[in-house]
Amino acid sequence: MELFVLIELGYHWLNDALQDYIASAYECTFVKHTDELPTEEHWLLIFSHTQPEKPMVIPTNSKALFSMYPLTDALTRKDCLSMVVKYWSAKRPGSVLSGCMPATVSFEIDYAEYLDEALAESDSYDLCTSLSHNTGLMPKDRQWWILKPALTARGDGIRLFSDESQLRESFESVENDDDEISEDGKARFSNHALASGAVPSSCLRHFIAQRALFAQNQRDEIFGHYLMISSDRTGHGKTELTSVSNKLLENVSWQQRR
């Protein structure tokens, strides 16, 4: 199958540079428009995510394959990716994708006091059952979840929780962050956000809850350290969510440096 590539960036001076880079890695044919494509052969097409010609390819050749989600939120945002997998698996029950995603719940909430309503609207049996089951268990025996603002980049704003009280505390901490930022601070941050594209969790109300996944040896190390910290600080083993989060992030950073 021959590879065809059409490049049309917003900055035209980048076209030649990108074309040279692709040509150095792949044996392919570059075209300027879809009219230059053959009509009777198998196609493998790569388009940029804003390419206006992309939808026109579908009816032109039943043998064509082209990239549907390059550089788009469908693959880079947890909430969008989970929906793509959900829709794909619903149409194809035997797909391997049906079992590759951890349980993911999307919900919107303005204030922590509306948490019960938000959980009810999310209609997530897995999340509600897990939070109820975790009550009274030791931290190492619980099912842990990740709370993440859906629209933030990378890992910004991620928190860990295992029961409803910890989830509520996470939302309350977001509200406190909002209260502590002065008007001048908000203005400075707004300018920075526009320049960098970053958005903090305190400015968002659309969240994703996703089952946390890690190896058993990492789990034992993280929560063993967590219990030691909480016992030393409080004298009676009081659990603190920040201890788990900090240890988890330290563990991940250490693994990346190795």
Tell me the per-residue pLDDT of 75-131, one tens digit each, with 9 for 90 and over: 667 777 888 888 888 888 888 888 888 888 888 887 778 888 888 877 778 888 898
Residue with more model confidence, 29 or 68: 29
Residues 6+ apart with CB under 8 A from 224: 140
Q: Do 146 and 165 lie in a common domain? A: yes
Residues 6+ apart with CB under 8 A from 238: 230
Looking at the predicted structure, is the pLDDT value of residue 216 above 50?
Answer: yes
Exposure b/e, 141-164, CB count within 10 A at least 16 = b:
ebbbbbbbbbbbeeeebbbbbbbb
Three-state secondary structure string covering the chain: CEEEEECCCCCHHHHHHHHHHHHHHCCCEEECCHHHCCCCCCEEEECCCCCCCHHHHCCCCCCEEECCCCCCHHHHCHHHHHHHHHHHHHHCCCCHHHHCCCCEEEEECCCHHHHHHHHHHHCCHHHHHHHHHHCCCCHHHCCCEEEEECCCCCCCCCEEECCHHHHHHHHHHHHHHHHHCCHHHHHHHHHHHHHHCCCCHHHCCEEEEEECCCCHHHHHHHHHHHHHHHHHHHCCCCCCHHHHHHHHHHHHHHHHHC
Percentage of the chain surpassing pLDDT 70?
A: 51
Percentage of the chain surpassing pLDDT 90?
A: 0
Q: Do 168 and 158 lie in a common domain? A: yes
**92 in a structural domain:** no
Structure tokens at 57: 């390819």
Q: Do 131 and 226 lie in a common domain? A: no
Q: Do 235 and 198 lie in a common domain? A: no
Q: Do 200 and 223 lie in a common domain? A: no
Residue with more model confidence, 16 or 200: 16
pLDDT-based confidence at residue 198 (cuts at 50, 70, 90): very low
**Number of domains comprising the chain:** 3
Q: Do 109 and 29 lie in a common domain? A: no
Structure tokens at 152: 């933030």
**pLDDT score of 71:** 52
Q: Do 145 and 66 lie in a common domain? A: no
For the ranges 36-40, 73-77, 132-136, 252-256, the lowest mean pLDDT is seen at 252-256
Q: Do 244 and 221 lie in a common domain? A: yes
Q: In angstroms, rounded to a whole number, what is the distance separating the alpha carbons of residues 39 and 64? A: 10
**188 in a structural domain:** yes
Looking at the predicted structure, is the pLDDT value of residue 24 above 60?
Answer: yes
Looking at the predicted structure, is the pLDDT value of residue 211 above 80?
Answer: yes
| Residue ranges making up the domain that contains 249 | 214-258
**pLDDT score of 122:** 75
Domain end call among 24, 47, 71: 71
**pLDDT score of 229:** 41
**120 in a structural domain:** yes
**pLDDT score of 86:** 86
**pLDDT score of 74:** 65
**pLDDT score of 244:** 46
